[in-house]
Chain A
Amino acid sequence: MTDALMTLSGVSKRYTRGKQTIRIFDRLDMAIPRQDFVAIMGPSGSGKTTLLNMLGGIDRPSSGEISFDGKRIDNLSEGRLASFRATNLGFVFQFYNLMPMLTAAQNVELPLLLTKFNPKQRRERVNAALAVVNLADRARHKPSELSGGQQQRVAIARAIVSDPKLLLCDEPTGDLDRETAGEILGMLQTLNRDLGKTVVIVTHDPEAARFAKRTIHLDKGHFTEKDLGA
């Protein structure tokens, strides 16, 4: 596949529990083109989150190769992987995972602490990211003072503030009502369409998957359907 942002080649993942070896994937191949918006669906235990974790460099394959922008990441050291994540990836979690003692702006600023931006540049980027998710007026609010949907928008702002190429979203609407979920997915769609971000979401919700350009179904360690929503 040409111009792929991320590729998986022959990726297998196995866990050993006692004397038992649990096989999650076996020789999985996958390519995520730039500016793609892909939904990964599948039943519980199908390996969706494990796949997302490997794409995000927080889990390693038992065998096979994972490349990002043409460079292998599966063999990087922990420190280089952390740096890779800080530079290239944005993460959105099901339960938002904001720091409760920080304001919305400070939560968004967190990834920028790892960059060389000065405080003024950081402030500008934080304001811009909050503006993208329509929360500029909530910058000084703490997570406990925000609704679930607003918290998830803050989490999205945190994910995009360092201008990553790829957004990885693990059940981003799993804790939200239908209407708010629609807003969040619409926002991800805008980020993909207007800002050119590549988006991968893991979901079990077919409605959520409809916002993606294509859907990949994962079951028992194999992809079963492709390109459904493109």
Chain B
Amino acid sequence: MTFFDLVRKNLFRKKLRTVLTTFAIFVAFLIFGVLATFQNALNSGEESASADRLIVTNRINFTLSMPISYVQRVAAVPGIKLVSHANWFGGYFQEQRNFLVAFAIDPQTYLDIYPEFVLPQAQRDAFLHDQGSIIVGKPLADKFHWKVGDRIPIKSSIFRKADGSDTWDFTVAGIITPGKSDVDVNFVAFHYEYFEQTRTFGHDTVGWMIVQTESPKVNERVAHAIDAMFANSPFETETKTEAAFNKAFTEQLGDLGFIVTSIVGAAFATILLIVGNTMMLTVRERTNEIAVLRTIGFTARRVFGLVLGESMLLALIGGILGLGGAFAFSFVLAKLLAGRLGALAFSPGTALIGAVLMATLGFLTGLLPALRAMSLDVVTALGRK
């Protein structure tokens, strides 16, 4: 037998109580893990943003378009390496619940400016040379069982073709994989030219421009120069770093950080009370046993360690189960929500924060009971029966 065995046996001596308390901790960590994973997914755009990329949108609202002539004018601003553009398509596959993040892009510049969207060279070449082709993110290809060479119909909830149809047919030229784990490739992209030739309205406009600067140091100057160039025009622009743009986009859903912190905070405050109260009760019930341990030679510090160890072990078991559940849940959700949400994956960062929370929960819930056990008056406690 070891001290750990003693801690473990103490913890499981009232199995139902331990199971219920563990379940409460499990739920708290499950909530934390799932919400943190969602938050990470929503923030993935901000985190994976490149420091030397700027996004130029219509100043009134980013859903409004700008003349395509802006692309050439922006490209002439000193400090800019490359400019690309994209349009929102409002796409879905077969039925509206199969919503797709679909863009009409300028293929060459778009792929150059986003090296983190990885395409095999042959697929890239095929895409660049076939105006009727499309590239699709791997999660979407997996979800809809698309393969290179497949003909797929993509419908638009916004645009119509000249024949009144809302369906564009494309050949899958390539499957995009993420260059890093936090890169979101839940989208499809096709040629702007094809889109431009077939749509019935909105001609010669782009949704937004993506600008690659020579260095992040010149970002501010370039952004000012772009916005100044179009000031007082019918289509004023607003230029932000990619990270700022993605952050603002996510914040449309509300302050997710605050929401997550509030929910997780409430869950943990409740758990703190439940587990803390349980541990206090446990120590109170074992007053006589603790006195016996002290009598046979266990020091106050060792008794403190035994009680604290018990609460730490409890938090660890419940926490690991909860984070494991969140991991499994996010894995399933990632499959189900492919195309709707960014890189939905349980991150090592979430696991690390979870581990810190486990240690904190275990320490806080065990501290008072352990201090109580440590400072027990042995003579009085032995006299109780």
Contact = CB atoms under 8 A, between A and B. Distances in A.
Interface of A: 49-50, 53, 56, 58-59, 78-79, 82-83, 85-87, 91, 93, 95, 97, 99-102, 106, 109-111, 113-114, 122, 158
B278 interface: no
**Which of B2, B299, B378, B383 is packed against the most chain A CB atoms within 10 Å?**
B299
B9 A110 contact: no
A82 B13 contact: no
B9 A97 contact: no
B288 interface: yes
B201 interface: no
B292 A82 contact: no
Contacts of A58: 294-295, 378-379, 382
B13 A85 contact: no
B298 interface: yes
A114 B298 contact: yes
B77 interface: no
Contact of A99 (B289, B295, B300, B383): B289
B185 to A, nearest CB: 53
Nearest to A159: B296
A55 to B, nearest CB: 12
B297 interface: yes
Contacts of A49: 383
A223 B290 CA distance: 32
Contacts of A91: 292, 295-296
B293 to A, nearest CB: 7
Nearest to B3: A113
**Which of A83, A87, A99, A111 is packed against the most chain B CB atoms within 10 Å?**
A99
Nearest to A83: B297
B301 interface: yes
Contact of B289 (A50, A86, A97, A106): A97
Nearest to B8: A101
Nearest to A114: B297
A11 B298 CA distance: 26
Contact of A93 (B3, B12, B382): B382
Nearest to B9: A101
A109 B5 CA distance: 12
**Which of B1, B2, B288, B301 is packed against the most chain A CB atoms within 10 Å?**
B1
9 contacts: A50-B379, A58-B379, A78-B300, A82-B294, A85-B296, A85-B297, A109-B1, A111-B297, A158-B296
**Which of B3, B5, B10, B382 is packed against the most chain A CB atoms within 10 Å?**
B382
A71 to B, nearest CB: 17
Contacts of B378: 58
B6 interface: yes
A86 B9 CA distance: 22
Given A91-B295, A114-B297, 18 more contacts: A53-B382, A58-B295, A82-B298, A83-B297, A83-B299, A85-B295, A86-B296, A86-B297, A101-B12, A102-B6, A102-B9, A106-B1, A110-B6, A111-B296, A111-B297, A113-B2, A114-B302, A122-B1
A82 B382 contact: no
A5 to B, nearest CB: 18
B385 interface: yes
A122 B294 CA distance: 20
A109 B300 CA distance: 19
B385 A95 contact: yes
B6 to A, nearest CB: 7
Contacts of A111: 296-297
A59 B299 CA distance: 15
Contacts of B300: 78-79, 82
Given A56-B295, A85-B297, A113-B2, A100 B13 contact: yes
